[in-house]
Copies of this chain bind each other. A is one copy, B any other.
Amino acid sequence: MARASGPRTRGGGVATGGTEEQIRRAAVHLFATRGFHATGIRQLAEAVGINSSTLYHYMGTKEDLLFEITQDSSRRLIDAASRLSPDLNPQARLCGLVYLHVWSHATHPEETAVVDNELRSLDGERLARAVELRDRYEDFWADAIADGCTSGTFAVQDRRIARIALLQMCSGVAGWYSTSGETSLRDLTTTYAQMALSLLSCSRDHRTIERLLDDLDLQPVVAAAWPETTPSPR
């Protein structure tokens, strides 16, 4: 349990946030970079600067920690997607989903990578719950694609394959994008939205999509889904 909301002890507490949040952050980083099974409980403690036994004052088992991380990240994506206006045309809806997904994966690559790659380390019941959340999120995409296809805006050979391909392509952003690189977040999201529309046989000019995304004004949505956006670079 442990309710930590403010108290810092020990001198020299340079790190930001409470101990519990530090643990969470270190776990996200280690799980994303080395993998769940390759991350030792002592490594995690060392990254936080505490003894390994102290970890268990703040968390349950190591797997509990992984589960909570994945649930949290999954829910953020679902929250963001569900905030999209329901009466958008298919084109705008799809662009919005791409924007939210790519923005999340670009600015929080570790959280999203853990969800994308480490679900298999969950046991049966937790895996089922995690998959359920993932499926709920993918339904937003399935609905948008179906809408566009029935209305004639999109044209694809196979809707399910198109959905899988789009999600896979957009998730890849977490693996390579760096905010310190030469591509801005604005260009990145626009480029992916353009590729997504093209893949759905609905090509649009880059500037057109840029304006479309500007009009959607989704920055408040991602800000609500990922509140404590860190000032740290990376």
Interface residues of A (CB under 8 A from B): 33-35, 37-38, 117, 120-121, 156-158, 161-162, 164-166, 168-169, 171-172, 175-176, 183, 187-188, 190-192, 194-195, 198-201, 203, 206
- Find out whether the CB atom of B35 lies under 8 angstroms from the CB atom of A120: yes
Given the known interface contacts A35-B35, A37-B35, A164-B172, the answer about A203 and B201 at a Cβ–Cβ threshold of 8 Å is yes
Please, which residue of chain B has its CB at the minimum distance from the CB of A166? Answer: B169
A77 to B201, CA, bound (A): 29
A169 to B168, CA, bound (A): 5
Between-chain CB contacts (< 8 Å), 19 pairs: A33-B120, A34-B120, A35-B35, A157-B190, A158-B183, A158-B191, A161-B191, A161-B192, A162-B195, A164-B172, A165-B195, A168-B169, A169-B172, A195-B199, A198-B198, A198-B200, A198-B201, A198-B203, A199-B199
